[in-house]
Amino acid sequence: MKIIKGVKISPGVAIGPIYYFERYKFPIPKNYIKPEERDGELVRLKRATTKAASELSRLRELVLVHLDEVHAKMIDAQLMALTDEEVIKEVEAVVQEEQKNVTWAYFDIMTQYEETLEKTLYIYHKERYIDLRDVKKRVIHHLSAEKQYTAPDLTEPSIFVSKRVSPSDMIHIHHVNAIGIITEIGGFDSHSGILARAFRIPYLSNVLEIDKIKSSEQVILDADEEKIILDANKNVMKEYEKHAKQFSISIKKSLRGQAVHESRDGLPFHILLNAGFLSEVESIEPSIVQGIGLFRTEYQCIESNSILDEDDQFEAYSKVIKNMNGLPVTFRTFDFGRDKFIEMLDLEMFHQDQLFDDWGGISFCLENPSLLNSQLRAFLRSSVHGSIQIMLPMVSSVDEVLKCKEILRDVQIELREEGTAFSEEINLGAMIETKDVMEILDDLAREVDFFSIGTNDLSLFLIGSERKSSLIKNHYHPVMFQAISKIVESAKRSQIPVNVCGEMGSDPYALIGLVAVGIRSVSVSSSAIQQVTEVIRNISIREAELIAEKVLSADNTLEIYTMLNKFYKMNVEPDNAEVK
Ligand code: PEP
Ligand code: MG
């Protein structure tokens, strides 16, 4: 029996065979074609290179807008590699003479070039090797019938093992038999982590011995105890089979109960739901929350790998609203960028270059007004089914909000003229999650109806942490509490409500710190609702406020963690608290 340790990203237990996935290994079909298929193969190549070229041209335009001509030239190098006549001729020859299918032929020829360049001593050529590899991936992606960038189907219930898992992989494997996830890299606050918890798939990251696991036939994944067991003996296996069964029964049950509206000392507190799929909304009884505080609309696009058109969005949003039985739903406009991509927007390259960590969110939508216009129309049309609010992600200037308000006004005029019904009572809020916005809080507060704090991204900008880092210590960082207190004060001055919708709100210890510095509303994923409810029900907000000063003057993470942990133990788990 061998035990391998990891870091818990999503709780639960699973037992099953391993499905090892290597992201950039292309499953190249190695079949020979018939002579009559040759022309069709060459047409496929033409189509694939044309698609790749138009993607690269679009990317070039974006690079020019966001960076400069020097960086745009990097794309030119790829465009040249893509249209290199020598390469195309050689591929055609292999297809004609050797009768290899075009994907196989293209792969072989490009790999030969790549290997030659990789071995060269000239830096310039070495750099071209990277360009070639990128172009190869892009063309082969288009040539392949299956989507190569998404994880393939798991044919039986399996534990997915990979170096990392992207949000789109996560959505895909959730639908196809993934019962657990093990990765080398992956963070608690990452979107993949958020999705794993939403889908209730046990997930361990920071696992350094992936190589040992990938060759195992059957493993036990115990995310609760942060371990993976290989070659378990009979007794251990029997014990875990019971756990795994209980876990799979528990995730099928929908969450029921009554929403908590107040703390132990009778002060009001709101607990809202974070969701991105209808299934998440359906998995809870609406009465256990006071509404949806964050609906991540981009998740449905990642799932379908396309931008939903206005009617599809209208239908999806209407279902969510109806499911909430009149409770308010806060829809966030598309928040692409960072680790959330869909192929057609082709944003991954920006991210890989790490040039645009703070890019995306509302600025991307404002650059694509038709996208924003159709989404706002869909929001407004669906508003007749209940109560909605609209929230803007990654806001970094007042100007962005003013522009959105103008577009929203135009959409309202359009709908009135068409005679389409919509609610006139829709609040517009801003997410507070970038560094720049921290400098303009009061000005911004005058322009919006509410603030919602995105602690996942805010910690990235304020502490310089990475979302893919598996540690959650950022939740106890003094800088975070100081920033949140500043946001609360600004919201108070303008008399607008403020909510926390980042993962800090579902961390039971951090939650106490948030309450201490004035937060009275959090929005958390369905998997965290029970625990958050338990904390709020058991703490006195007045008592929590007494530690605010200490939290705000602490100078390190450990000091804050110790303080919050102690408060938690004394109030939420008094039986386990040490008596001194
Ligand atoms: C956040 O950044 O905290 C947040 C809620 O937004 P997302 O996780 O979707 O980026
Ligand atoms: Mg965010």
Which H, E and C letters describe 239-308, residue by residue?
A: HHHHHHHHHHHHHHCCECCCCCCECCCCCECEEEEEECCHHHHHCECHHHCCCEEEEECHHHHHHHCCCC
Residues ≥6 apart with Cβ < 8 Å to 145: none
Per-residue confidence (pLDDT) for residue 349, from 0 to 100? 42
Q: Taking the CB of residue 425, how many other CB atoms lie within 10 A of it?
A: 9
Per-residue confidence (pLDDT) for residue 222, from 0 to 100? 96
Per-residue confidence (pLDDT) for residue 275, from 0 to 100? 96
Distance 396 CA to ligand 2 centre (A): 12
Do 513 and 473 contact (CB within 8 A), yes or no?
no
Report how far residue 60's alpha carbon sits from residue 391's, in angstroms, rounded to the nearest whole number.
30
Can you read off the two tokens belonging to residue 71?
A: 């960086």
At 430, which helix (H) or strand (E)?
A: strand 427-432
Per-residue confidence (pLDDT) for residue 433, from 0 to 100? 95
Distance 453 CA to ligand 2 centre (A): 9
Distance 504 CA to ligand 2 centre (A): 12
Report how far residue 36's alpha carbon sits from residue 89's, in angstroms, rounded to the nearest whole number.
19
Using CA atoms, how far residue 207 sits from 3, 191, 198, 367, in Å, is: 11, 18, 21, 40
Beta carbon of 105 within 6 Å of any ligand 1 atom: no
**Residue to mutate (ligand 1; options 433, 503, 521; most atoms within 8 A of CB):** 433
Distance 84 CA to ligand 1 centre (A): 42
Beta carbon of 460 within 6 Å of any ligand 1 atom: no
Beta carbon of 197 within 6 Å of any ligand 1 atom: no
Per-residue confidence (pLDDT) for residue 70, from 0 to 100? 74
- Provide the pairing of β-strand 2-5 with 227-230: antiparallel
Instruction: Report residues of the chain scoring pLDDT below 70.
Output: 23-27, 66-67, 120-128, 145-152, 254-255, 338-359, 465-472, 576-580
Q: Taking the CB of residue 540, how many other CB atoms lie within 10 A of it?
A: 15
- Provide the pairing of β-strand 388-392 with 427-432: parallel
Distance 337 CA to ligand 2 centre (A): 10
Distance 40 CA to ligand 2 centre (A): 45
- Residue 14 bridge partners (DSSP): 221
Atom number in ligand 1 closest to CA 296: 9
Beta carbon of 447 within 6 Å of any ligand 1 atom: no
pLDDT (tens digit, 9 = 90+) per residue, 98-157?
Answer: 999 999 999 999 989 888 877 765 655 566 677 788 788 888 878 875 444 455 677 789
Per-residue confidence (pLDDT) for residue 354, from 0 to 100? 38
Q: What domains, with CATH codes, occur in the chain?
A: 2-21+152-252 (3.50.30.10), 35-149 (1.10.274.10), 255-579 (3.20.20.60)
Per-residue confidence (pLDDT) for residue 360, from 0 to 100? 75
Beta carbon of 339 within 6 Å of any ligand 1 atom: no
Do 505 and 511 contact (CB within 8 A), yes or no?
yes
Atom number in ligand 1 closest to CA 455: 3
- Residue 374 bridge partners (DSSP): none
- Provide the pairing of β-strand 227-230 with 158-162: unpaired
pLDDT (tens digit, 9 = 90+) per residue, 207-240?
Answer: 988 888 888 888 999 999 999 999 999 999 999 9
3-state secondary structure of 99: coil
Report how far residue 293's alpha carbon sits from residue 337's, in angstroms, rounded to the nearest whole number.
21
Distance 301 CA to ligand 2 centre (A): 17
Beta carbon of 273 within 6 Å of any ligand 1 atom: no
CA 118 from centre of chain: 34
Beta carbon of 457 within 6 Å of any ligand 1 atom: yes
- Going by alpha carbons, the residue nearest to atom 9 of ligand 1 is 296
pLDDT (tens digit, 9 = 90+) per residue, 332-359?
Answer: 999 987 666 655 454 444 444 434 455 5
Distance 509 CA to ligand 1 centre (A): 19
At 331, which helix (H) or strand (E)?
A: strand 329-332
- Going by alpha carbons, the residue nearest to atom 1 of ligand 1 is 454
**Residue to mutate (ligand 1; options 191, 339, 457, 474; most atoms within 8 A of CB):** 457
3-state secondary structure of 371: helix
pTM over 0.85, yes/no: no
Beta carbon of 502 within 6 Å of any ligand 1 atom: yes
Distance 358 CA to ligand 2 centre (A): 10
